[in-house]
């Protein structure tokens, strides 16, 4: 319960800015202090003034009683009146005064608009009493009504009413003064708090801005060390951290660049090597095999009478078969047609052979007018080759399709199948180098490779490679034959 309340409070108070928090705390304390001081001082003032007023009321009425005895005995009503008026005039707090005879009749009074009769019953005194004071609530506030017997009550009672208006006035004056002081102190407090929060939050705001920049990958901002305190230490630590981050980032970039270069080199070397071996196989090995076949045929013909014509024929069969295999190997290593006739022709041939081998119909659409930069042609050829190999090995597809087109500054390729599909996000790790290699080739040329696939819904590989990428832009165009 308490925890919930605390949580809710913190949800509201915690959400405001530091500036508002500090201002709130300062103002809250000032207001609390002010309220306490006002209540305390009003209480103390009320207590002392009440005592004083009571004492005054007793002394004034006793004085009146003493001085009233003579005029009453002499039955001098005029003097009695004067006495009452004088009492009123001398004591501004006294609201009224009157004399009652022993039978309860008012013989002199100071009320201007007639005597309020119910006042009579509100206070009385006994002969042996020194005085008797009651507190009466009137329209004008509280009144201390004191009754004092005159000559032990034998000739009457003197009564006066002392109002607390002066006390109320003093109280409200005090309150107003205190309130003014509080407002003044609050204003000063707010100013001080604003200044303090400015000093305190300025470096924090700078830190926040710098941190946000760092979060976005910008490691250049440094925060100034405003003061030699904890926040200053934080700023220094932050700067050290950003420097370290920037350094690490630089190293990472350098390594990434090196890795890229290495990768490019490896791929280029691999292609060169393949090209060289393919050419070797074609030019030298195939030629040799062809000579062998021709030789064997001649041997067969010349040796019509010898015992081993069938042997020669068998050997020729083996040689022809090997020649075919060498041809095939050379093709797969690096089709000469890719260098000689370009991507379109090479892919048509690849698709044709693939279809024949795996008995899966493949639809090829290639919309390219000119030849592409050599690296792009090689990359696309290898990517499509790997995609087709995957379809044959994993997809169990009924058909496949290849689309290559040039659009804007990009060349796009899509290889699709209608097979069992797979989850591309799950294919990570060392075992699946095929997809990784495809992506690597595309990215080395500044392009992207996206695989879309859902189980039972086939797979599509989208490749997009910019034609004017720094990696390809300086390449010599492959001269058409």
Ligand X SMILES: Nc1ncnc2c1ncn2[C@@H]1O[C@H](COP(=O)(O)OP(=O)(O)O)[C@@H](O)[C@H]1O
400 binds ligand X (CB under 6 A): no
* Angstrom distance (rounded) from CA 109 to CA 158: 10
432 binds ligand X (CB under 6 A): yes
**Which window, 38-46, 228-236, 390-398, 473-481, contacts ligand X (CB under 6 A)?**
390-398
Look at residue 221 and give its three-state secondary structure: coil
419 binds ligand X (CB under 6 A): yes
Residue nearest to Mg ion (CB): 434
- When binding is defined by CB under 6 A, the residue of 351, 459, 465, 471 that contacts ligand X is 459
Q: In this complex, which beta carbon is closest to ligand X, that of residue 333 or of residue 435?
A: 435
453 binds Mg ion (CB under 5 A): no
Length in residues, the chain: 481
CB atoms within 10 A of CB 20: 12
- Per the CB < 8 A criterion, the answer to whether 351 and 388 are in contact is yes
390 binds Mg ion (CB under 5 A): yes
With CB cut-offs between 5 and 8 Å by kind, which of Mg ion, ligand X, none does residue 432 bind?
A: ligand X
The CB-based long-range contact list for 72-77 (8 Å cut-off, 24+ gap) reads 72/99, 72/101, 72/107, 72/150, 72/155, 72/156, 73/155, 77/107, 77/108
Bridge partners, residue 147, by sequence: 132, 159
Backbone phi, then psi, for 79, in 5-degree steps?
-60, -40
427 binds ligand X (CB under 6 A): yes
With CB cut-offs between 5 and 8 Å by kind, which of Mg ion, ligand X, none does residue 339 bind?
A: none
**Residues 279, 284, 285, 289, CA torsion sign:** positive
- When binding is defined by CB under 6 A, the residue of 182, 312, 362, 391 that contacts ligand X is 391
CB of residue 429 to ligand X, shortest distance in Å: 9
**Which window, 10-18, 231-239, 431-439, 441-449, contacts ligand X (CB under 6 A)?**
431-439
399 binds ligand X (CB under 6 A): no
Alpha-carbon distances, residue 424 vs 404, 429, 437 (angstroms): 22, 12, 14
**Which window, 171-179, 349-357, 385-393, 400-408, contacts Mg ion (CB under 5 A)?**
385-393
390 binds ligand X (CB under 6 A): yes
* Angstrom distance (rounded) from CA 236 to CA 222: 9
- When binding is defined by CB under 6 A, the residue of 182, 206, 323, 395 that contacts ligand X is 395
**Which window, 23-31, 113-121, 273-281, 385-393, contacts ligand X (CB under 6 A)?**
385-393
With CB cut-offs between 5 and 8 Å by kind, which of ligand X, Mg ion, none does residue 415 bind?
A: none
| Residue 469 region by backbone torsions, left for phi larger than 0, else alpha for psi between -120 and 50, else beta | beta
**Which window, 28-36, 159-167, 357-365, 414-422, contacts ligand X (CB under 6 A)?**
414-422
- When binding is defined by CB under 6 A, the residue of 420, 440, 443, 446 that contacts ligand X is 420
* Angstrom distance (rounded) from CA 383 to CA 434: 9
463 binds ligand X (CB under 6 A): no
418 binds ligand X (CB under 6 A): no
Q: In this complex, which beta carbon is closest to ligand X, that of residue 68 or of residue 395?
A: 395
**Which window, 37-45, 194-202, 420-428, 439-447, contacts ligand X (CB under 6 A)?**
420-428
Tokens of 130: 């020194």
- When binding is defined by CB under 6 A, the residue of 417, 465, 471, 478 that contacts ligand X is 417
* Angstrom distance (rounded) from CA 376 to CA 412: 11
* Angstrom distance (rounded) from CA 260 to CA 266: 10
- Per the CB < 8 A criterion, the answer to whether 64 and 158 are in contact is yes
Q: In this complex, which beta carbon is closest to Mg ion, that of residue 101 or of residue 440?
A: 440
Angle between helices 286-302 and 309-333 (to 10 degrees): 170
With CB cut-offs between 5 and 8 Å by kind, which of ligand X, Mg ion, none does residue 300 bind?
A: none
- When binding is defined by CB under 5 A, the residue of 434, 437, 460, 464 that contacts Mg ion is 434
* Angstrom distance (rounded) from CA 137 to CA 116: 14
By CB under 5 A, name the binding residues for Mg ion.
390, 434
By CB under 6 A, name the binding residues for ligand X.
390-391, 393-395, 417, 419-422, 427, 432-435, 459
């Amino acid at each position: 319960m308490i925890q919930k309340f605390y949580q809710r409070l913190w949800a509201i108070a915690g959400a405001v800015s530091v500036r508002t928090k500090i201002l709130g705390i300062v103002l809250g304390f000032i207001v609390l202090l002010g309220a306490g001081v006002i209540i305390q001082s009003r209480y103390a003032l009320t207590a002392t003034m009440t005592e004083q007023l009571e004492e005054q009321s007793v002394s004034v009425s006793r004085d009146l009683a003493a001085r009233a005895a003579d005029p009453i005995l002499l039955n001098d009503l005029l003097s009695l009146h004067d006495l009452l008026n004088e009492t009123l005039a001398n004591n501004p707090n006294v609201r009224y005064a009157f004399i009652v005879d022993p039978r309860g009749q008012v013989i002199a009074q100071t009320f201007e608009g007639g005597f309020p009769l119910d006042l009579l019953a509100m206070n009385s005194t006994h002969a042996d009493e020194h005085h008797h004071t009651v507190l009466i609530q009137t329209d004008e506030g509280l009144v201390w009504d004191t009754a004092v017997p005159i000559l032990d009550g034998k000739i009457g009672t003197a009564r006066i009413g002392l109002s607390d208006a002066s006390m109320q006035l003093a109280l409200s004056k005090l309150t107003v003064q205190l309130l003014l002081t509080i407002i003044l102190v609050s204003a000063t407090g707010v100013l001080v708090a604003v200044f303090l929060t400015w000093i305190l939050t300025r470096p924090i705001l700078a830190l926040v801005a710098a941190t946000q920049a760092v979060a976005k990958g910008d490691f250049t901002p440094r925060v100034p060390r405003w003061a030699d305190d904890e926040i200053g230490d934080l700023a220094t630590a932050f700067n050290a951290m950003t420097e370290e981050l920037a350094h690490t980032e630089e190293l990472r970039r350098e390594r990434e660049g090196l890795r890229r270069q290495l990768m490019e080199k490896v791929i280029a070397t691999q292609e060169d090597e393949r090209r060289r071996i393919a050419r070797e196989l074609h030019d030298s090995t195939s030629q040799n095999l062809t000579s062998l076949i021709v030789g064997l045929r001649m041997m067969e013909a010349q040796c019509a009478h010898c015992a081993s014509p069938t042997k020669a024929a068998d050997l020729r069969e083996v040689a022809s078969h090997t020649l075919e295999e060498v041809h095939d190997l050379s093709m797969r290593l690096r089709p000469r047609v890719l260098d000689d006739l370009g991507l379109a022709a090479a892919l048509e041939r690849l698709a044709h052979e693939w279809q024949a081998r795996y008995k899966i119909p493949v639809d090829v659409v290639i919309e390219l007018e000119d030849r592409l930069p050599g690296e792009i042609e090689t990359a696309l050829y290898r990517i499509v080759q790997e995609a087709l190999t995957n379809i044959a090995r994993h997809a169990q597809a009924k058909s496949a399709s290849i689309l290559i087109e040039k659009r804007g500054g990009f060349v796009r390729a899509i290889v699709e199948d209608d097979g069992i599909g797979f989850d591309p996000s799950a294919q990570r790790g060392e075992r699946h180098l095929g997809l990784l290699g495809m992506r690597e080739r595309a990215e080395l040329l500044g392009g992207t490779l996206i695989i879309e696939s859902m189980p039972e819904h086939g797979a599509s590989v989208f490749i997009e490679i910019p034609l004017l990428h720094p990696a390809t832009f300086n390449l010599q165009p492959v001269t058409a034959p």
